[in-house]
């Protein structure tokens, strides 16, 4: 585990997702801040809907691969879309699989191993005025329950359809500053927790 390594991902796989755009912009901002960044795309993992009967047949290989990536990064930024006032089924399903113990596997018998002690910053984006803020309010207790440290700073990007330029960067300096503040706080706390 590298102490300044940051994992950035969005709870969406949609091609034109505002939160995937925000994740890409955040990764660039974090690299400028000196972090070693991994931009994770959930579409790169073949993870079915969680089902205990399916799990009993053997945890899918991509779930184990995801657990490893999560575990390797002490700091995370999650860009959470808002569906019906909450986070996405994709994000919940990903967390449910990643936090489920793998029976008979000494590395992953502890379901919380990938989450415990991680410093997590929350971002969201939507076309509405609140910028997906309600998804963050639902996601926060889920992450705390998994023993993550949650950064007090968060940012919700409203009017997201006009917030990015053609290269995918945030147009307004104030938005860059708000994202950078979350990144900086996550890296600051992670460095101290992992000193």
pLDDT band at 151 (very low <50, low <70, confident <90, very high): very high
Residue 64 above 60 pLDDT? yes
pLDDT in tens, 105-142: 999 999 999 999 999 999 999 999 999 999 999 999 99
Three-state secondary-structure class, residue 93: helix
Query: Distance (Å, rounded) from C-alpha 47 to C-alpha 146?
Result: 20
Residue 3 above 80 pLDDT? no
End-to-end, the C-alpha distance of the chain in Å comes to: 12
pLDDT over 90 percentage in the chain:
96
Query: Distance (Å, rounded) from C-alpha 35 to C-alpha 25?
Result: 14
Q: What is the pLDDT of residue 131?
A: 97
Are 151 and 189 in contact, with CB atoms under 8 Å apart?
yes
Beta strands 119-125 and 75-79: pairing type? parallel
Using the structure block, give the residue that is written with the tokens 């969201």: 124
Q: What is the pLDDT of residue 2?
A: 58
For residue 38, give Cα distances in angstroms to 63, 109, 169, 192: 17, 25, 17, 20
User: Domain residues of the chain, as ranges?
Assistant: 5-193
**What CATH class does 5-193 carry?**
alpha beta
Calculate Rg over the CA atoms of the chain. Answer: 16
Query: Distance (Å, rounded) from C-alpha 98 to C-alpha 156?
Result: 25
Are 73 and 3 in contact, with CB atoms under 8 Å apart?
no
pLDDT band at 195 (very low <50, low <70, confident <90, very high): confident
Mean pLDDT of all residues in the chain? Answer: 96
């Amino acid at each position: 585990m590298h102490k300044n390594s940051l994992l950035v991902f969005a709870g969406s796989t949609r091609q034109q997702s505002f939160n995937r755009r925000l994740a890409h912009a955040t990764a660039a901002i974090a690299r400028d801040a000196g972090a070693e960044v991994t931009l994770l795309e959930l579409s790169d993992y073949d993870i079915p809907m969680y089902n205990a009967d399916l799990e009993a047949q053997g945890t899918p290989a991509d779930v184990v691969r995801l657990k490893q990536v999560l575990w390797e990064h002490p700091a995370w930024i999650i860009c959470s879309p808002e569906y019906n006032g909450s986070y996405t089924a994709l994000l919940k399903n990903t967390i449910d699989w990643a936090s489920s113990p793998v029976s008979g596997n000494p590395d992953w018998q502890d379901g919380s191993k990938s989450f415990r002690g991680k410093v997590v910053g929350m971002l969201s984006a939507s076309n509405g005025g609140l910028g997906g803020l309600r998804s963050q309010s639902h996601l926060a207790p889920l992450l705390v329950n998994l023993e993550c440290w949650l950064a007090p700073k968060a940012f919700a990007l409203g009017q997201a359809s006009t917030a990015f330029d053609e290269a995918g960067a945030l147009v307004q300096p104030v938005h860059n500053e708000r994202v950078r503040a979350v990144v900086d706080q996550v890296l600051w706390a992670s460095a101290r927790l992992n000193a």
